[in-house]
Amino acid sequence: MQEFSIIEQYFTNQTQPRRDVLVGVGDDCAITQIPENHVLATTTDTLVSGIHFLPETNPADIAHKALAVNLSDLAAMGATPAWVSLALTLPDANEDWLSEFADSFARLCEYYSINLIGGDTTRGPLSITITAQGFVPPDSVIKRSGARPGDAIFVTGTLGDAGAGLGLLKETLTEENVALDSLAASYLLLRHNTPTPRVLAGTTLRRKVSSCIDISDGLIGDIQHIMKASQCGANINVGALPISNELLSFVSPEYAIELALSAGDDYELLFTVPQDQIEEVKTAMHSVSIPITQIGQMTGDGELHLKQNNQAYITQASAYQHEIPLHG
């Protein structure tokens, strides 16, 4: 099958067209219109089979995850998602695989009212590169660099679930558990395979927070990105980390903390809030029903301190690097 026909056959006309897409798939470029008084947000992420997902992952989950991780980057800047481009490299043009991939991709596009505006399909080892574009008022951009000593550190949702889901897939967690709770297992697998980008959280936090990042590398890795960009330190209270009941039904509280700190791929937002904005942030996030938890505070000393019951917490964990093959 030829590259133009794959995109046209499987990926176009699946979603409600946006009025700001003046030229969509099928010309040399897409032409789109940014709303007045907004700036453009652009992010690119590649997922490679065997590195970012297990080779046996079903095509619907691969499509969901590839798109979700890009939308998560837009969310972390406070941007509203609008348009995506898809570069799909496939070992062969299997029609069932393509249909499942495209249907899942379209469902997530439809949910967020975004449009696929371009793409390229090539033959080769399976990998997916997505470029997602969105827009944001210039005074509402949330950077990594705005945190200040004294700001409270928050996260959305719960941490460690995606890491546990990967553990279940790789069967590194099952031996410890006598009774597998199937509902909890399903939840953890969903959290790994089909992460939910925090799009609404991102736009809700605009102009209320001092910095934000999405948790892809793990809390320890990602808080250090904020620390470096903001030239701050951070104290994290590991006892305060939000852990789901589903995760606690599978692993010890101690191992849950390790997963929360370092397993990555949760795609929750990690953000810092000036003290005088904390109540406003809590009210705003409550009004959109997104749970948030304060887990620490930024400091002036440039270092990361993990604490539990006011004592130093010792971890073997380090930031999850996507260069390293999937770990268990």
Q: In the window 28-87, what residues touch its own copies (CB under 8 A)?
A: 28-34, 39-48, 50-52, 73-74, 76-77, 79, 83, 85-87
Residue 86 vs 189, nearer CB to its own copies = 86
Report, in Å, the least distance between residue 173 CB and its own copies. 26
Find the helix packing angle between 59-76 and 182-193, rounded to 10°: 60
Q: Which two tokens stand for residue 104?
A: 């899942």
Verify binding: residue 3, its own copies, rule CB under 8 A: yes
Q: Which two tokens stand for residue 164?
A: 């546990």
List the one residue from 155, 213, 223, 259 that touches its own copies (CB under 8 A): 213
Cβ–Cβ < 8 Å for 39, 136: yes
Is 44 annotated as belonging to a binding site?
Answer: yes
Residue 1 vs 248, nearer CB to its own copies = 1
Residue 26 vs 302, nearer CB to its own copies = 26
Verify binding: residue 109, its own copies, rule CB under 8 A: no
Strands 304-308 and 311-312: antiparallel
Q: Which two tokens stand for residue 309?
A: 């019951």
Cβ–Cβ < 8 Å for 304, 227: yes
DSSP state of 78: T
- What x-and-dash track marks residues 142-171 binding its own copies by CB under 8 A? -xxx--------------------------
Report, in Å, the least distance between residue 210 CB and its own copies. 14
Judged by CB under 8 A, the stretch of 98-106, 125-133, 176-184, 188-196 that binds its own copies is 125-133
Q: Which of these, 155, 314, 148, 313, lies nearest to 233 by C-alpha position?
A: 148
Q: Which of these, 319, 288, 292, 158, lies nearest to 212 by C-alpha position?
A: 292
